[in-house]
Structure 1
Amino acid sequence: MSTFRNPVGPQPSSVYWRRRIVVGLAVLAVIVIVLLIFFQPKGSTPPADVKQTTPPPVATSNPSDACAPGVVDVLAATDKSTYASGENPRITLTLTNKGAVPCTINAGTTQQEYKITSGSELYWDSKDCQKDAVDAPVILLPNEPKSTDPITWDRTRSSTTCDSTRKQVPSGGASYHLNITVGDLKSNDVQFILN
């Protein structure tokens, strides 16, 4: 009768013992490999050909967070620098987030103000007689400019009294300046000529 200590078979008992040792070592190797996969030793060093790099920190933000001061660039523009007689200037506003994360700015008509001056005289102000001003929160993605639809200025003076008849402004080579504010943010100064 064959037992663990006394194997019975056509081969000598030493052959059976060697086979048992080989099988036992194979089972032990499999167990060690499985344990190493699931329980990697701490402080192990990676192979020499694998470079360990620390990823750069990623700036995170909630897009609904208000844009930080100094992050948004306000650009005023006219479609031409000189206008022929009878041509009306078309004005645009462009907002650009110069930061690294998306942010939100109120760019509604409650915050926008367009002013056209010549010398020290104010000729046109978009706030004069403005009706139905609204807030308009806008999400600005980093370095992706957002522009308004062009506004056409009809070369007339605005007034706080909301006169139905508005006077034409001087032309014939007169120089004017456009400036836009959005809340506390100020645009560049744009000069143009009316012939």
Structure 2
Amino acid sequence: MIEPNGPLPPAVYWRRRVVAVGGTAIALVLIVLLLSWGADDSVTPSANNSGKGAVAESSPPPAGQQLANASSSSSASAEPSLSASVSAGGSSAAASSASSAASSSKPKPKPKPKPCAESTLKLLVQLGKPEYRVGERPEMNMVLTNAGQDPCVQDVSRQVRELVVTAKDSGDRLWSSLDCYPPKTNEKPVLQPGQQLSFELSWAGRTSAPGCPVNRETVPAGEYLVTAKIGKLASEPVPLRLR
């Protein structure tokens, strides 16, 4: 079977064998190529349609895998909102603390001082000297002191301040600083603890009466008392001698 036999020359038979073998090989190659193309065509739709087609044709994952995917996707979607809420809460807390710090740093307004109680005030009279000659003008000084522990408001207007001279023996009223000083003022200072106010006045040495009558007499030599008053508050009488 290997050596060609026949009436024709051996070379003819060898060429026929080569052609037959070559044709067979070509046929096999074509078959293989056709099979390969068929396989490629069957895979191509699922590869190219990786979107909707791939999802439709692919089988659903197991239930456990679905739960795991759902849990991971919900966690992933929840993380941004959680981060945002924490950030918003932190900023609001910082703003609240800054507002609290600003409000706490502001000094609170001090309460307004109340009117002075008589028990916290001390009033006294100071004379330039204890004895004057008749015709001289005795110097008198009214001193008001806040002897309390707190600031307070006191009315010391001209119409409530008064110096009074009385006879030591009889107690007769001889002169008042309010009789001949009709002008009124509005003086209501705040007295700090220990603060003093002083009001000086010189007396002409003559009598007076409410309304300041024209006929006023010179006070003769004798023993007298000088008392200071502010509203209902009165000082201790101080002796004054005229000679």
Q: So what's the TM-score if we normalise by structure 2? A: 0.51
What letter matches 2:232 in structure 1? D
What is the aligned partner in structure 2 of residue 94 from structure 1? 143
| Inter-CA distance 95–193: structure 2 relative to 1 (3 Å threshold) | same
The answer to whether the 8 A contact 2:134-2:220 is kept is no
Superposed, 1:63-142 pairs within 5 Å as: 64-118=113-167, 119-142=170-193
The answer to whether the 8 A contact 1:117-1:124 is kept is yes
| Inter-CA distance 159–69: structure 2 relative to 1 (3 Å threshold) | closer
* Paired residue secondary structure (1:156): coil
Q: CA deviation at 1:113?
A: 1.8
Aligned residue pairs, count: 133
Q: So what's the TM-score if we normalise by structure 1? A: 0.62
Q: How many Å separate the matches in 2 of 1:187 and 1:62? A: 30
| Inter-CA distance 66–91: structure 2 relative to 1 (3 Å threshold) | same
Q: CA deviation at 1:77?
A: 1.6
> RMSD between aligned alpha carbons?
2.0
The answer to whether the 8 A contact 1:62-1:103 is kept is no
Residues 108-136 of structure 1 deviation map (CA, whole Å, 9 limit, x = unaligned)? 11211221001321110122243122231
The answer to whether the 8 A contact 1:103-1:139 is kept is yes
The gaps in structure 2 that reach 5 residues or longer are: 1-109
Q: How many Å separate the matches in 2 of 1:100 and 1:161? A: 40
The gaps in structure 1 that reach 5 residues or longer are: 1-60
| Inter-CA distance 183–62: structure 2 relative to 1 (3 Å threshold) | farther
Residues 136-157 of structure 1 deviation map (CA, whole Å, 9 limit, x = unaligned)? 1022111122211x20101000
The answer to whether the 8 A contact 1:104-1:140 is kept is yes
Greater Cα radius of gyration, structure 1 or 2: 2
| Inter-CA distance 153–70: structure 2 relative to 1 (3 Å threshold) | same
User: Which has the larger strand fraction?
Assistant: 1
Q: Which has the higher contact order (CA 8 A, sep 6+)?
A: 1
What is the aligned partner in structure 1 of residue 197 from structure 2? 146
Residues 149-184 of structure 1 deviation map (CA, whole Å, 9 limit, x = unaligned)? x2010100002353334210111xx01101111111
The answer to whether the 8 A contact 1:111-1:135 is kept is no
Instruction: State the percentage of identical aligned residues.
Output: 27
Structure 1 ranges of 4+ moved more than 6 A: none
Matched, 1:194 2:194: no
